[in-house]
Amino acid sequence: MDLETLRHSASHIMADAVKRLYPKVKLGIGPSIEDGFYYDFDLEQSIIPDDLPKIEEKMRQIVKENSEFVRQEMTKNEAIELFRKFGEDYKIELIENINEPKVTVYRHGDFVDLCKGPHVARTGDIKAFKLLSIAGAYWHGIETNPMLQRIYGTAFGNKEDLDKFLELQEEAKKRDHRVLGRKLDLFSFNAQVGAGLVLYHPKGAILRTIIEDYIRREHIKRGYQLVISPHILNSDIWIQSGHYDYYKENMYIFEIEGKEFAVKPMNCPGHILVYKSYKRSYKELPLRFFELGSVYRHEKSGVLHGLLRVRGFTQDDAHIFCLREQAEEEIIKVIDFVSDTLKVFGFNEYSVELSTKPKKYIGTDRDWKEATAALENTLNRKKIPYEINEGDGAFYGPKIDIKLKDALGRQWQCATIQCDFALPERFALFYVDKDGKEKRPIMLHRVILGSIERFIGALIEHYGGNFPLWLAPVQVCIIPITKKQNDYAGKLKEIMEKGEIRVILDARDEKMQKKIRERELEKIPYLAIVGEREAGGDKVSVRSKAKGDLGQMGTKEFLHRLKEEIEKKN
């Protein structure tokens, strides 16, 4: 049975159940989504988690009734009159905005809903379902519209698949980066700072720095040149690039001394201006500019979600200026770069989408066709399976999106590669070719990790906070058994620090077992416990987060073990 159809049918059953329990409710929309379904409700009283079992029980009753799903076609006026009788104002608004003379509704029992369908044959076909959570949602996602109550649920063809999904959901809750970020003291948000703006704590800042240092070194190895662009640019630049017309609602715009500026939502105009700073020769191309560029975008408060959706973030952003005949080879190099990098960070699987021309775009259809072909040819040459995402390209060019898969099989947006003919045209970029004539370069926009914030969120959830040694903010905690070993523990800490190990010393006047338990909860990879015997023999007793008690070993041996594991990055 098709899961999308099954889940959409389940959303109708849930709406019917809510309507039976709360007769004054007004219905919003109820689509199927990737992992289930939801329905939006306008209801005076608040639905709380304790109400979900009651709604589920009513759903089971509707399933037991085994009513037929019946499709009915009617004119818009007939549909408006029907839903006016039910007092369904939101349905009437939806009908009025449909640009077709006729609409369809679906009925089961006494329940009727505006819907294109399809649905399962009968309500009795929906057997394995579960309501999951409640959230608020503005009607049409617009903050000035009424806030509705959204109930999320899921449904599967059988109980076994549902149980597996619920187990993964429970594991996902344990790995939630927002919870672990607080427990591990990595980052926080503060209302005084503003929604969607991250405060990195010392451990989180170390983790971010490790990631940034790695990705910066890798770019330099692969022939990229470092550049840095300002955080604000005159609005004339954004008008020229097209962002002002196509992206203005997501930009922070302000005025200084009678001139308008914008905080950058993208890094590309700055890189374009670096390219344009002097005349370029074909011999310089491909020219690869890289920046760990911080950008700011006005995301609606309702979609902000921990590190995964923020208003201020940093991208490992690069722009490649190249000849047309160089484009495919450069795209291949970027794909290889992405694949190599994901493996280093422990992600071995990813999926790929090719996003095509949107409704609003700049540039010529001919250029869009050539740019899309360059991306498509590259994927075919690499024999990488991909899906077409119609109409989801950037306004200046088509793109390849690469989504990594984590330990729970969930997808996270990561790298993107965009092929752009339009911005080089708008900014009149050129290079002098071998024949002495000025010609237009192609511009490739690309990120490897994407948003560093989102990537850190994915890393936290992928590892459940149990980072491999090379990424761990604190790699070793030294725990002396008694005060008598504090001096030895201090010297050991100095040796490790000189060996570039991130180490802390827990010399608190607490019982050893308590200190061990607390440090294990902090998910520190290694605990080095030192007592009288260790201090007398230049040794440590080692406890590994991954492998348990490793016994006693010499200080030099332990340090060698750490360095070897860090080098392997596993």
The H or E element that residue 132 is part of is strand 128-138
CA distances from 420 to 270, 293, 331, 441 (A): 16, 20, 12, 10
| Predicted confidence band of residue 71 (pLDDT cuts 50, 70, 90) | very high
Q: Is 552 a catalytic residue?
A: no
> What is the pLDDT averaged over residues 487-504?
95
Q: Which residue has the tokens 């703006």?
A: 197
| Predicted confidence band of residue 241 (pLDDT cuts 50, 70, 90) | very high
- For 207, the token pair is 């983790």
Q: How far apart are CA 133 and CA 36, in angstroms?
A: 11
4: left (phi over 0), alpha (psi -120 to 50) or beta: alpha
Q: Is 297 a catalytic residue?
A: yes
The HSE-up count of residue 131 (CA atoms within 13 Å, CB side) is 26
Q: Among the options 115, 268, 419, 477, which is catalytic? A: 268
Please confirm whether the linkage preceding 265 is cis (ω < 30° from 0): no
Q: Is 433 a catalytic residue?
A: no
Q: How far apart are CA 389 and CA 401, in angstroms?
A: 9
- Indicate the DSSP class of residue 441: P
Q: Is 115 a catalytic residue?
A: no
| Predicted confidence band of residue 478 (pLDDT cuts 50, 70, 90) | very high
Q: How far apart are CA 299 and CA 282, in angstroms?
A: 40
CA 538 to chain CA centroid, nearest Å: 47
What's the maximum distance between 2 C-alpha atoms anywhere in the chain?
91
Q: Which residue has the tokens 């996003």?
A: 355
Local structure of 320: helix, strand or coil? strand
> What is the pLDDT averaged over residues 196-215?
97
Q: Is 61 a catalytic residue?
A: no
In tens, the pLDDT along 165-186 reads 999 999 999 999 999 999 999 9
- Indicate the DSSP class of residue 425: H
In tens, the pLDDT along 373-396 reads 999 999 999 999 999 999 999 999
Q: How far apart are CA 349 and CA 113, in angstroms?
A: 40
Q: Among the options 16, 40, 316, 317, which is catalytic? A: 317
> What is the pLDDT averaged over residues 483-492?
94
pLDDT at 541: 95
Q: Is 177 a catalytic residue?
A: no
> What is the pLDDT averaged over residues 7-21?
96
Q: Residue 101: how many CB atoms within 10 A of its CB?
A: 8
136-154 burial, b at 16+ Cβ within 10 Å, e below that, comes to ebbbeeeeeeeebbbbbbb
Asked whether residue 279 carries a pLDDT value surpassing 90, the answer given is: yes
CA 484 to chain CA centroid, nearest Å: 49
- Domain architecture of the chain: domains with CATH: 3-166 (3.30.980.10), 183-463 (3.30.930.10), 476-568 (3.40.50.800)
Q: Among the options 130, 243, 445, 543, which is catalytic? A: 445
Q: How far apart are CA 493 and CA 504, in angstroms?
A: 7
Q: Give the closest residue to 356 by CA, choosing from 383, 376, 338.
A: 376
Q: Is 414 a catalytic residue?
A: no
Asked whether residue 302 carries a pLDDT value surpassing 80, the answer given is: no
- Indicate the DSSP class of residue 558: H
In tens, the pLDDT along 24-66 reads 999 999 999 988 999 999 999 999 999 999 999 999 999 999 9
Q: Sheet harboring 252-256: ordered strands across?
A: 232-234, 259-263, 252-256
Q: Would you say 504 and 477 are in contact if contact means Cβ atoms under 8 Å apart?
A: yes
- For 216, the token pair is 């910066």
Which ranges of 176-289 would DSSP assign to H, the alpha helix?
A: 177-183, 202-221, 235-241, 243-246, 268-275
| Predicted confidence band of residue 1 (pLDDT cuts 50, 70, 90) | low
Mean per-residue pLDDT of the chain: 94
pLDDT at 142: 82
Q: Among the options 7, 264, 399, 493, which is catalytic? A: 399
Asked whether residue 6 carries a pLDDT value surpassing 80, the answer given is: yes
| Predicted confidence band of residue 367 (pLDDT cuts 50, 70, 90) | very high
- Indicate the DSSP class of residue 69: P
What are the beta bridge partners of residue 527?
477, 543
Q: Among the options 8, 58, 315, 454, which is catalytic? A: 315
Q: Among the options 297, 311, 493, 502, which is catalytic? A: 297
